[in-house]
């Protein structure tokens, strides 16, 4: 049962945006090309991941029995669960009558609970310190191989770290302990502490209630911390154009099948920066480029897919910031929300997903003239088997 739960959670974390907005003809052509490439390489990636074994070092904190449920078997789900999470519009739904407290573990181990009159879907986050060691070693190796590039790591906590109700102890492990452990073991890499700022703003709409992602507001606060660490300009929130789209029901309903989430949709609010940007999307091999928009759904109707569109592509964003700095972001879906907030901080930004990147990442950073390199993933990635992709893209 625990292994099955680990597989399901891996699938959720891989699922990314869910349903995607309609694409232009050029976008569709490029996406098709990328899909063909992915099909031919998926088996190879799976084999590499299955062969990757990590032992916990003696310096690592003791790993609990529950934490050891994260195994390399998760890779089966990782390579077959593309875009399985659904985003549903529930604007016409009638609410379920429930005036009292509610806290139930639904299908696939998702905790559905009622907080301040609204329903939340929370996903546990386990993983191992041994996998954190493997991830940290790979990030450190990037810094060693790229001595002229400023390298940063941002480990992003998920919603269960801040909103777990009392009485549910044991549902998940401490993400802060693993985040601190990763930070302590980085070498020549700047750790960007976003835990404290997210905790400080947790009473604001920084995480989605019905989805496993954060809201753009949470990404804004995290991006601000990164900009401070990178010593670059960063505009105030009130300089952005705020766009809100209602009726958002994300992956936590799809996986839990709990109707309380469906009948309690939330708003999705994103922030469009001032200034000119030009965005070119490429396939996972950095070929077949086509121009499009950073915000593929400017009205927010694509919800978490409203910016960048999907994970299985490389985005090059050129801005009107004239500081001459080029940022490369290696991320999973959590990192998508950061990019729009950094367009006033870097002249050029490359956004690359560690799960869909088919080049040697070190050489890529050299080829594009990277001055800054940011690894931005939620805790589940470095503490789970998804973190092995950092090693893969470094060596392939």
Q: Which residue has the tokens 């699938």?
A: 11
Going by C-alpha positions, the residue among 77, 94, 109 that lies closest to residue 13 is 77
Give me the pLDDT at residue 14, please: 53
**pLDDT, tens digit only, all 396 positions of the chain:** 444 444 445 555 555 664 333 333 333 344 334 434 433 333 333 333 333 333 333 345 555 444 444 433 333 333 333 333 444 444 433 444 556 689 999 899 999 999 999 999 999 999 999 999 999 999 999 999 999 999 999 999 999 999 999 989 899 999 999 999 999 999 999 999 999 999 999 999 999 999 999 999 999 999 999 999 999 999 999 999 999 999 999 999 999 999 999 999 999 999 999 999 999 999 999 999 999 999 999 999 999 999 999 999 999 999 999 999 999 999 999 999 999 999 999 999 999 999 999 999 999 999 999 999 999 999 999 999 999 999 999 999
pLDDT, residue 155, reads 98
Nearest CA among 384, 389, 304 for reference residue 127? 384
Spell out the domain ranges in the chain.
Answer: 2-395
Give residue 331's region: left, alpha or beta (phi > 0; psi -120 to 50): beta
Structure tokens at 142: 């990037």
- Sheet of strand 241-249, all strands in order from the earlier edge strand to the far edge: 88-89, 241-249, 266-272
CA distances from 227 to 219, 223, 325 (A): 12, 6, 12
CA dihedral 40, 82, 314, 232 (to 10 degrees): -150
Cβ count near 7 (within 10 Å) = 21
Predicted local distance difference test score (pLDDT) of residue 381: 98
At 15 the pLDDT is 57
Pairing type for strands 348-353 and 326-331 reads parallel
């Amino acid at each position: 049962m625990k292994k099955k739960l680990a597989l399901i959670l891996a699938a959720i974390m891989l699922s990314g945006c869910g349903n995607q907005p309609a694409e232009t003809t050029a976008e569709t052509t490029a996406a098709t090309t990328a899909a063909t490439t992915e099909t031919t390489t998926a088996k190879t990636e799976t084999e590499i991941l299955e062969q990757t074994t990590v032992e916990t070092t003696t310096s690592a904190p003791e790993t609990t029995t529950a934490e050891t449920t994260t195994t390399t078997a998760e890779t089966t789900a990782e390579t077959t669960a593309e875009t399985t999470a659904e985003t549903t519009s529930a604007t016409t739904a009638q609410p379920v009558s429930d005036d009292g407290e509610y806290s139930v573990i639904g299908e696939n181990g998702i905790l559905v609970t009622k907080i301040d009159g609204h329903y939340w879907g929370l996903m546990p986050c386990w993983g191992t310190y041994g996998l954190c060691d493997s991830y940290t070693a790979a990030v450190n190796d990037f810094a060693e191989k790229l001595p002229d590039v400023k390298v940063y790591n941002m480990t992003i906590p998920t919603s269960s770290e801040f909103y777990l109700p009392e009485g549910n102890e044991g549902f998940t492990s401490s993400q802060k302990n693993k985040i601190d452990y990763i930070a302590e073991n980085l070498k020549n890499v700047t750790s960007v502490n976003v835990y404290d700022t997210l905790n400080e703003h947790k009473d604001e709409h920084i995480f989605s209630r019905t989805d496993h992602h954060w809201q753009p507001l949470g990404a804004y606060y995290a991006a601000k911390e990164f900009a401070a660490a990178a010593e670059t300009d960063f505009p105030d929130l009130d300089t952005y154009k705020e766009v809100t789209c209602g009726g958002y029901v994300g992956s936590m309903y799809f996986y839990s099948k709990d109707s309380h989430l469906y009948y309690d949709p939330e708003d999705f609010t994103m922030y469009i920066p001032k200034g000119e940007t030009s965005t070119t999307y490429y396939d996972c091999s950095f070929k077949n480029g086509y121009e499009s928009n950073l915000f593929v759904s400017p009205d927010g109707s694509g919800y978490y897919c409203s910016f960048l569109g999907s994970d299985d592509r490389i985005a090059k964003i050129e801005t009107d910031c004239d500081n001459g700095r080029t940022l490369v972001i290696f991320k999973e879906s959590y990192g998508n929300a950061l990019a729009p907030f950094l367009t006033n901080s870097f002249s050029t930004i490359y956004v690359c997903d560690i799960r869909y990147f088919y080049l040697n990442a070190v050489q890529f950073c050299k080829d594009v003239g990277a001055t800054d390199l940011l690894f931005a993933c939620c805790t589940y990635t470095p503490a789970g088997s998804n973190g092995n992709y950092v090693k893969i893209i470094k060596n392939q």
